[in-house]
Amino acid sequence: MVNRFLTIVVLVPLAVILIALAVANRGAVPFTIDPFNPGNPALTITWPLFAYLFIAFVLGLLVGGVATWLKQRRYRKEARRHAEEARKLREEAARSRPAQVHPAISGPSSGPSPNP
């Protein structure tokens, strides 16, 4: 339910805005890597402006995602440590517990009956 609401309220208007932006910015724009000779055809590409905008958007998402992932490294490491500690404690508790016979598994003939 929340996912559908998020899709309708956020992603649909965002898609409409991006499509309108792409249609409005169809003109070819040169992008050069050489600042001293901007007319150098070997280091210049010409694409529509919306392509540059989409590339910048995707690069921003990637850089933000990597930065967030790196920042949360400490919490992931701590979670792994806690999970390992919990696993060891569960194994220790299972080893220290005496073996119990369950009446449902062992059947009525093993041991005294609960109601004499």
**Whole-number Å distance between alpha carbons of 7 and 58:** 19
User: pLDDT tens across 11-69, in order?
Assistant: 888 889 888 888 888 888 888 888 888 778 888 889 998 888 889 989 999 999 999 99
Q: Is the pLDDT of residue 107 over 80?
A: no
Q: Is the pLDDT of residue 105 over 70?
A: no
**Whole-number Å distance between alpha carbons of 64 and 44:** 28
- The first and second tokens of residue 87, run together, are 């696993």
Q: Helix H segments across 1-116?
A: 2-6, 12-24, 49-71, 73-96, 103-106
The pLDDT value given to residue 99:
66
Annotated domain spans of the chain: 20-93
Mean pLDDT of 77-87: 96
The pLDDT value given to residue 75:
95
At residue 38, φ and ψ (nearest 5 deg) are: -65, -15
The pLDDT value given to residue 109:
56
Torsion of CA 70, 73, 75, 76, to 10 degrees: 120
Instruction: Judge whether 40 and 34 are in contact, CB under 8 Å.
Output: yes
pTM here is 0.57
| Higher per-residue confidence, 104 vs 94 | 94
Q: Is the pLDDT of residue 10 over 90?
A: no
